[in-house]
């Protein structure tokens, strides 16, 4: 398993607010470790690396996956940084999280992996599935699946539903109406620095 399983608040203290990783807020505002409070000048490489790590930890993807997304974004038309963010936001686990069916992206990934989520009437258990406009995301008809999602809906991760999604709480059904717009990306990030970081690799 290549998923990050370590302490999440350490990552949040180091990188800043990551709404997809955890809903908890750290008690200390400085980075962890004995040098956390010491102000040190960061190099340009360190700043770019930090932005890249924000993407990785927030969306719960590996280095290899992120590199693949960057290469795909390069081939797409328009801004590479924006295309990269759109691809990550349109992943099934992130879409389930943004609909409020799960409190965090790791929790949404678990829902998907365990077969609780259906896309267009069929069970999809691949978290990296790319949602397209017109896709209908619903909960599996099993009682356990419905109960899990109903519990999660009482404490959703993010309050606002993005403009490209709509959700019917009564039927536990969501619909993708379009591609996410840049202002609806919840993560505070400079995506151009991530593209610059991979400029030599991709």
CB atoms within 10 A of CB 183: 7
Task: Provide the 10 A C-beta neighbour count for residue 55.
Answer: 23
Q: Looking at the domain that runs over 8-87+184-197, which CATH code has it been given?
A: 1.10.1050.10
Please tell me the predicted confidence (pLDDT) of residue 82: 92
**Residues contacting 122, CB < 8 A, separation 6+:** none
**For residue 130, which of 163, 179, 167, 62 has the smallest C-alpha distance?**
179
| pLDDT tens digits, 77-133 | 889 999 999 999 999 999 999 998 888 899 999 999 999 999 998 999 999 999 999
- The pLDDT score that the predictor gives to residue 202 is 58
Looking at 3.10.290.10, 1.10.3720.10, 3.40.50.300, 3.60.110.10, the CATH number of the domain 91-178 comes to: 3.10.290.10
175, 166 contact by CB (below 8 A): yes
pLDDT tens digits for range 32-88:
877 767 767 888 998 899 999 999 999 999 999 999 999 999 998 889 999 999 999
Model confidence at 155, in pLDDT bands (50, 70, 90)? confident
| Domain assignments of the chain as residue spans, ordered by start | 8-87+184-197, 91-178
Nearest CA to 115 out of 106, 126, 125, 101 is that of 125
pTM (2 decimals)?
A: 0.87
pLDDT tier for residue 1 given thresholds of 50, 70 and 90: very low
State the helix-helix crossing angle for 44-59 and 8-15, rounded to 10 degrees. Answer: 140
- Contact (CB, 8 A) for 131 and 175: no
């Amino acid at each position: 398993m290549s998923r990050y399983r370590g302490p999440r608040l350490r990552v949040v203290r180091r990188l800043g607010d990551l709404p997809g990783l955890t809903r908890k807020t750290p008690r200390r505002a400085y980075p962890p470790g004995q040098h956390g409070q010491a102000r040190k000048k960061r190099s340009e490489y360190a700043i770019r690396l930090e932005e890249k790590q924000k993407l990785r930890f927030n969306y719960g993807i590996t280095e290899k996956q992120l590199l693949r997304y960057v290469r795909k974004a390069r081939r797409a038309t328009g801004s590479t940084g924006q295309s990269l963010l759109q691809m990550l936001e349109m992943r099934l686990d992130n879409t389930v999280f943004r609909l409020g069916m799960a409190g965090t992206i790791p929790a949404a990934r678990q829902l998907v992996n365990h077969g609780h989520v259906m896309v267009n009437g069929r069970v999809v258990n691949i978290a990296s599935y790319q949602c397209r406009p017109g896709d209908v995301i619903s909960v599996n008809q099993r009682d356990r699946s419905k109960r899990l999602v109903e519990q999660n809906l009482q404490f959703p991760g993010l309050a606002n539903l993005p403009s490209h999604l709509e959700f019917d709480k009564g039927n536990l059904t969501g619909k993708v109406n379009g591609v996410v717009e840049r202002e609806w990306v919840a993560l505070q990030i400079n995506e151009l620095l991530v593209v610059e970081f991979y400029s030599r690799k991709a």
